[in-house]
């Protein structure tokens, strides 16, 4: 993803924040192909990345420190990675979360559908729609 595209997405997401105690201290940066890191000052707040599993298919992953939850950082990391994967031409993107995860609706809003579910995990899938 180009630096300009990342800056444009970051600017867009920043305007959506209603409460943001980290203003001026927050950064979102790419650290490799399909890899993003969020920092508060110089401290790691979270990261997102994708593993390419087959041509045109990827699995997204994310880690976020608990103290930075509910400020939109995790959503921003996932939306940035998702935009990168879409722009890179991926046709299928998967993501898996614990069954009782509080952010279930976020994935639905990003266009994911439930692919499978068991007692512990929910697997989501996004497929590029034919235009």
What is the pLDDT averaged over residues 58-86?
A: 90
Dihedral angle over CA of 19, 20, 21, 25, nearest 10:
-170
Question: Sorting pLDDT into bands at 50, 70 and 90, what band is 81?
Answer: very high
Rounded to the nearest integer, the mean pLDDT of the chain is 84
Q: What are phi and psi of 86, to 5 degrees?
A: -65, -45
Longest dimension (CA), the chain: 42
pLDDT score for 95 = 92
Model confidence at 7, pLDDT cuts 50, 70, 90, reads low
Strand order in the sheet with 26-30: 26-30, 35-40, 43-54, 57-64, 92-98, 121-127, 113-117
User: How many beta carbons lie within 10 A of that of residue 112, not counting itself?
Assistant: 21
Which domains are present in the chain?
A: 3-127 (3.40.630.30)
Q: State residue 91's pLDDT score.
A: 96
Using alpha carbons, list the distances in angstroms from residue 56 to 32, 87, 89, 120, 128: 18, 12, 7, 28, 10
Torsion, CA 104, CA 127, CA 59, CA 82, rounded to 10: -70
Looking at residue 53, its pLDDT comes to 93
Q: Higher-confidence residue: 129 or 52? A: 52
């Amino acid at each position: 993803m180009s630096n300009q595209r990342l800056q444009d997405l970051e600017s867009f997401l920043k305007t959506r924040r209603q409460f943001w105690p980290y203003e001026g201290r927050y950064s979102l940066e790419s650290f490799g192909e399909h890899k993003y890191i969020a920092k508060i000052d110089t401290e790691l707040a979270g990261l997102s990345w994708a593993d390419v599993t087959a041509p045109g298919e990827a699995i997204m992953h994310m880690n976020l420190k608990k103290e930075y939850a509910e400020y939109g950082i995790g959503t921003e990391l996932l939306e940035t990675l998702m935009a990168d994967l879409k722009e890179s031409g991926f046709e299928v993107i998967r993501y898996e979360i614990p069954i009782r995860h509080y952010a279930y609706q976020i994935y639905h809003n990003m266009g994911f559908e439930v692919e499978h579910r068991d007692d512990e995990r929910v697997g989501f899938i996004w497929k590029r729609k034919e235009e």
